[in-house]
């Protein structure tokens, strides 16, 4: 799907993917050993209900993702190479105003409710940022019901949406790492509610954009770490913990 193709072709392409997302039926699993409890048990059950073979994970850095098709191709390449778990990360520790605007629109929150003021951020900068998010939400309110158009507000969201939808269509679990990935997940959930059964977030967060997204999606919030980063550390720790669960 090249950039010179008409918009209708993207819609038809996405429709063909959403039709491939099947209802989720958890696999039958054996009871876990009594010594496995808490977060490890929850993570292990989530995995075993979805995949019946050994873990083979691929990490995808969404930092320079540029469009939906590229995300689809990246996911397909990873899965065709044997991956049965995708870990989404980023090398940028930043949540763009566009990402927060998408989350605000799809979670039906105002700009103030989905903004996180990091330590060291001045009140003046925070208020300017909230105003920018508010204005973005106001300008794009009319396309709240057009998820594919909303995704194009941020190329990395568009890319991650391609990864997430393709993975769900191919019954491949994904652990999301930051607010960009969750904004993409909200987009994809608007296309097909069934897709979110294949996702979980890496860890809990103090950022309301992340907590609001996870609540709206109804996916596991991840390890109880209350992180504030946007690089996907929680997703990477979850992957390492899952690896240890399988090896044991």
- Residues 233-244 as b or e (16 or more Cβ within 10 Å = b): bbbbbbbeebee
Q: What are the tens digits of pLDDT across the range 78-129?
A: 999 999 999 999 999 989 999 999 999 999 999 999 999 988 899 999 999 9
CA distance 201 to 177: 6
CA distance 155 to 119: 28
Asked if the structure places residue 67 within a domain, the reply is: yes
The kind and range of the H/E element at 61 are strand 57-61
Structural domain count of the chain: 1
Question: Residue 173 belongs to what domain range?
Answer: 33-247
The answer on pLDDT for 246 being more than 50 is yes
- Percent of the chain beyond pLDDT 70? 96
Asked if the structure places residue 83 within a domain, the reply is: yes
Asked if the structure places residue 2 within a domain, the reply is: no
Asked if the structure places residue 201 within a domain, the reply is: yes
Asked if the structure places residue 76 within a domain, the reply is: yes
- Percent of the chain beyond pLDDT 90? 85
User: Could you tell me the pLDDT band of residue 247, with boundaries at 50, 70 and 90?
Assistant: confident
| Residue 199 C-beta-side C-alpha neighbours within 13 Å | 34
CA distance 102 to 108: 10
Asked if the structure places residue 24 within a domain, the reply is: no
CA distance 43 to 238: 8
Tokens of 91: 């090398």
- The angle at the Cα of 152, spanning 149 to 156, to the nearest 5 degrees, equals 145
Mean pLDDT score across all residues of the chain: 94
User: Could you tell me the pLDDT band of residue 8, with boundaries at 50, 70 and 90?
Assistant: low
CA distance 210 to 12: 30
Residue whose pair of structure tokens reads 């106001």 in the numeric block: 138
Closest CA to 160 of 47, 66, 59, 19: 66
Sign, Cα dihedral of 147, 148, 150, 154: positive
User: Could you tell me the pLDDT band of residue 10, with boundaries at 50, 70 and 90?
Assistant: confident
Decide if 144 contacts 56 (C-beta within 8 A): no
CATH number of the domain where residue 46 is located? 3.40.50.10210
Q: What are the tens digits of pLDDT across the range 220-238?
A: 999 999 998 899 999 999 9
Taking residues 127-135, what's their average pLDDT?
98
């Amino acid at each position: 799907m090249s950039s010179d193709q008409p918009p209708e072709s993207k819609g038809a392409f996405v429709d063909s993917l959403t039709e491939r997302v099947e209802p989720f039926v958890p696999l039958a699993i054996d009871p876990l050993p009594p010594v496995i409890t808490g977060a490890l048990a929850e993570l292990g059950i989530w995995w075993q209900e979805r995949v019946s073979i050994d873990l083979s994970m691929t990490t995808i850095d969404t930092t320079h993702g540029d469009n939906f098709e590229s995300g689809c191709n990246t996911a397909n390449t990873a899965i065709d190479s044997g991956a049965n778990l995708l870990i989404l990360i980023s090398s940028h520790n930043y949540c763009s105003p566009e990402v927060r605007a998408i989350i605000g629109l799809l979670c039906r929150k105002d700009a103030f409710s989905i903004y996180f003021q990091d330590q060291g951020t001045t009140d003046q900068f925070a208020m300017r940022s909230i105003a920018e998010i508010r204005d973005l939400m106001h300008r794009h309110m009319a396309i709240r019901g057009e998820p594919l158009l909303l995704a194009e507000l941020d190329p990395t969201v568009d890319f991650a949406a391609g990864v997430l939808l393709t993975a769900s269509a191919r019954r491949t679990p994904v652990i999301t790492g930051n607010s960009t990935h969750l904004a993409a997940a909200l987009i994809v959930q608007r296309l097909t509610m069934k897709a979110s059964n294949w996702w979980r977030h890496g860890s809990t967060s103090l950022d309301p954009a992340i907590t609001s997204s996870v609540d709206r999606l109804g996916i596991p919030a991840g390890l109880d770490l209350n992180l504030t980063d946007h690089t996907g550390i929680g997703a990477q720790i979850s992957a390492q913990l899952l690896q240890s669960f399988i090896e044991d």
